Amino acid sequence: RCETCSKEEAKYRCPRCMKYSCSLLCVKKHKLALSCNGVRDKTAFISVNEFTDLNLLSDYRFLEDVGRTADAAARHCMVHSPATKRLLYCLRNKARGCNIELKTLPVGFTKRRENSTTFNFMENKFYWHLKLVFPHCHAEYTLKGVPDDKTLADILKPYIDPVESDPVVCQRLKIYTASPQSDVRILMKIENRSRNSIRYNELDASRSLLDNLKGKVIIEYPTLFVVLKTLKNDMVVLGQDGSEPAENSDSESSSLSSVEEGEIRDNS
């Protein structure tokens, strides 16, 4: 049966989320409801027991695509532009001065193209390109020009505050706006870890964006995941000392266990 209308016999299956649909209308409805783009996740984990020749061929073609993208990026005229090099050097240098390890990607990558982060020399502060992900609602929002001295609580107010949030956004994120603010947790993925060992740091909503980014590795721009304590998901949060949480711990803060992260690598 179609998993959208539950009436007709299914004819199609989404390559990304594997949902069954019976018609083009139901396909569009499921994409809208789940924020699904319908494109197969080429980087999804596949166990050795399920690995087939088709998966091997898919990986080979994926590596070929990566090679072509990297080659095109290396040939891009902006790569060799002195102004571009000076800008990137300035951003990395200023971030290093704030105890932030900022890494940039080649010009051909999506995150490099869309990144709008700047540094204001007059005010001596960053204006960050920021992405907010609400996994419980399958929603993402991109913010531009976020000052580094703004607290995370103020950044989230237009989205999850029941009074100050936009009515349309409030309706889409109603599971967040209906929950107490004390249940909201803000996580950021720890970079430079293998894909089968993804871990997160919990950020302090009462502190500024700059304070929360200190001591962290950032690839192009920060991506923050907003989750709720009362809902389970599989994002494993490291302790304040960077240690792994105990597997048999009953603590609410040691792990969250039921919503997939949904983040995919861009062009790599």
Q: Compute CA 138 distance to the chain's CA centroid, rounded to the nearest angstrom.
A: 11
264: pLDDT strictly greater than 70: no
Backbone φ, ψ for residue 42 (5° rounding)? -75, -15
pLDDT of residue 191: 84
Backbone φ, ψ for residue 227 (5° rounding)? -130, 170
pTM equals 0.61
Element of type H or E holding 230: none
Question: Whole-angstrom distance between the N-terminal and C-terminal Cα of the chain?
Answer: 35
CB burial readout 2-34, b (16+ within 10 A) else e: bbbeeeeebebebebbebbbbeeebbeebbeee
Average pLDDT value for residue range 131-140: 88
Average pLDDT value for residue range 30-52: 84
Asked which of 48-57, 100-109, 189-198 is least confident by mean pLDDT, the reply is 189-198
Q: Which domains does the chain have, with CATH numbers?
A: 12-72 (no CATH), 77-228 (3.10.20.90)
Cα separation, 70 vs 65, in Å, equals: 9
2: pLDDT strictly greater than 80: yes
pLDDT tens for 65-113 read 888 877 776 666 655 567 777 888 888 898 998 899 998 887 777 888 8
Give the CA distances from residue 220 to residues 104, 109, 116, in Å, rounded to whole numbers and listed in that order: 5, 10, 9
pLDDT tens for 138-164 read 888 999 999 989 999 899 888 888 787
Element of type H or E holding 227: strand 223-228
